[in-house]
Every structure is written in structure tokens, then in C-alpha cells.
Amino acid sequence: VKNGSSINAMGRRRMKSTFADYRIYKDEGALSIRAIKPLLRAAGNEGQYMTLQRAGMVAFEFASRSLHEKERRYDWQNKEAFLVNVAQAGELLAAKELPISFRTRRMEGEDATFKNYTMAFQKGSSTSGTTGSESYQLYLKTQALGQDKKESSTMVPISKGEFMVIRSLLQYSIPHMLAWDQAFASGVDRVEGAMKSGFDSEKHEFHADLPTEDLWGKNF
């Protein structure tokens, strides 16, 4: 038992990264949601503290279903992704009605082609077979701005429970996207450009409370 405990302890010490995502598989397509950590850099005369260089994001990755497979399989090699930033996460949490959509444009590919991305949440028809149950649709549309102007679209139906999980993940992710969790956990009393406030971060824990049913239930 002692040797086993030592091995487990060594394994925990070696594990420096954790890879986790939330996946939804449906007949129409699949969705994977994962966090992209913020980028920090050393600052100060001797690099004694860290500052936020680029905020983190939440990646929504869409994969279409492979049409020629008898089993339910998805084309993850040709997946498309929409990167949700802090402001967009806040917009979804503050939304009082659907649909709500987000748009962005970015350059990618060997030919450096710009592509327009549109991701939208909207209400859908019931897919659970339960009377009165709610469902939603999440879709991603892309359009290349090159000569071919190629377009693609992937839609993933989601249940009310899955929709609530997505919103909860975004709510929890916001402090981490801004590295506030690291600022509170570091024990440093000063942030760049700010004065000491007398707050002892080592004696306080940061909790991202989940919204109540009243906040979301009445609106959706």
C-alpha cells in the first residue's frame, strides 16, 4: 500500500496539464467545447510578477457526421471552430431571448484565406419525445472569402440540460480567461497599475457561483 501511495504521489507531481472537454454527439453532428488558457508574461524589473498578455477563450468545435459510415462517426479531421471571447461569453449569459449569434473573421490555411464564421444559438423543436420539453439548436456557418467562396454549415441540436451545462461552463470560465483565478491564488497584493488594498488573497478562496434558476429559467 505504501509503494502504491508513493507511485500515485509521483504521478500527481508529474501531471502538469489536464486536458478536458465537453462533447455532445447527435445524428446531425457533434460538438466539443474546450478551454484555451490565457497567455501570461513576466513583468517588472526582475520578472517578479506576471501580467495578462492575451485573454483565454472557449473553443466551440463542430464536426459533421460522416455520411458513408453505417455507425455514428464524425469527421473531426475537418472540424470547424469558433473561439468565444470574454465579451461574447458575457453576452450569452446576459441574453434574455433567442436567437443570439456571434460573428468573427480570421485568416487560415496555406493560402491565407479569410473566412467568416457565424455561430448561433436558437430554439428548436423537441427531440426528446417528452411533451413540453425544450430543445435548442447550435450551428456554425463558415464562408471563405477567396475566389471559390466555399460555404459550410453544421448544426447540433441540444437539450435544455445540455444548454444549461454550456452556459454554466462559460460562467465558470470567465475568471480563468482573464487569469483572475491565478491573481487571487498567487498571494500577490499588487497588480500592475494598482495599489495595495489590504486584501490577503491567501486567506480567501475565489468561487464562481452558478446562476440560479430564477436568472435563466424565466428567460429560457
How confident is the model over 136-161, as pLDDT tens digits?
Answer: 999 999 998 876 778 999 999 999 99
End-to-end Cα distance, the chain: 51
* 163 within 8 A of 22, measured Cβ to Cβ: no
Hey, where are the domains in the chain? 19-191+198-217
Spatial strand order in the sheet of 135-144: 100-108, 113-124, 135-144, 151-159
Sequence-distant (6+) residues with CB within 8 A of 45 are none
- How confident is the model at residue 197, as a pLDDT? 42
Spatial strand order in the sheet of 21-25: 21-25, 29-36, 57-64, 80-84
Strand 113-124 and strand 21-25: the pairing is unpaired
Across the chain, what does the average pLDDT equal? Answer: 79
* 176 within 8 A of 56, measured Cβ to Cβ: yes
- Please give the Cα distance from 74 to 26 (Å, whole number): 10
State pTM to two decimals: 0.73
Contacts 24+ apart (CB under 8 A), 188-197: 188/49, 190/49, 192/43, 192/49, 192/51
Residue of 138, 132, 173 lying closest to 61 (CA atoms): 138
Report residue 64 as a C-alpha cell. Answer: 459533421
pLDDT single digits (tens) 93-112: 999 999 999 999 988 766 77
Sequence-distant (6+) residues with CB within 8 A of 158 are 24, 26, 31, 135, 136, 137, 138, 166
- What's the CATH fold of domain 19-191+198-217? Transcriptional Co-activator pc4; Chain A (2.30.31)
- How confident is the model at residue 107, as a pLDDT? 85
Could you list the pLDDT tens digit for every one of the 220 residues in the chain?
455 554 455 455 555 667 789 999 999 999 999 999 999 998 888 777 888 999 999 999 999 998 776 778 999 999 999 999 999 999 999 999 999 999 999 887 667 788 999 999 999 875 444 444 689 999 999 998 876 778 999 999 999 999 999 999 999 999 999 999 888 886 654 444 443 444 444 444 444 454 554 444 555 5
